[in-house]
Amino acid sequence: MRIQYLGAVAIASLLTLGAVACGTTTTTNPDALSQEAVDPSAAANPCAAANPCAAANPCAGAKAGTQPEVYSFEGLAIRGADPVAYFTEGKAVKGSADYETSWGGATWRFSSAENMAAFEADPIAYAPQYGGYCAWAVKSGYLASVDPEAWKIVDGKLYLNYSAGVQKQWQADIAGNIALGDQNWPTVLSSDEFSESGKSW
């Protein structure tokens, strides 16, 4: 009987040590009313409490973005400019609330039903590069808003800038700046630095 008791104690001790080593923790609520064991593997998010005993940590190197993938001001992509018009009319054209669609977490406006249909058929072809953030900022490793009238199409892709002045800097080395922007995108979305002009258009 004594041997069985000592065996049970030894097994319980090993289980306790294993649980501690593998990350099972005990938490106390702020009012100290109760305690409960928290199993990290039970979390809905596998990165919320990764098991340090796992052979590979699925959360290693993962970092959630702090900014949305598509820049919008007051919910509107490109501040309400029609993205298709840059390609068809060669200028920034205000979109209408009569022609709106949602894509990439933002609302896109168009100046006509035809332009809206073209975008809906192939949004990647018309959406600005870098989620519509300033191309100069992205190449520099941070994020900034855009002026719809500071734009350029390069190799069939639309690029926007914060202002006409910033666009001049970006255009001084378009190929080099695009290469740097491509390297930084989309990891730059995790940047804490964001410049918003706050100007409506």
Mean pLDDT per 10-residue section of the chain, whose length is 201 residues: 44 42 37 37 40 33 66 96 98 98 98 98 98 98 98 98 98 98 97 90 85
- Give Cα 176 distance to the centre of its chain: 24
Residue 159 near residue 151 (C-beta atoms within 8 A): yes
The reported pLDDT for the residue numbered 65 is 52
What's the whole-model pTM score?
0.68
The reported pLDDT for the residue numbered 24 is 37
Structure token digits, residue 182: 């491509």
**Amino acid residing at 121:** A
Residue 46 preceded by cis peptide, ω within 30: no
Return d(Cα 63, Cα 32) in angstroms, integer. Answer: 33
Residue 162 near residue 137 (C-beta atoms within 8 A): yes
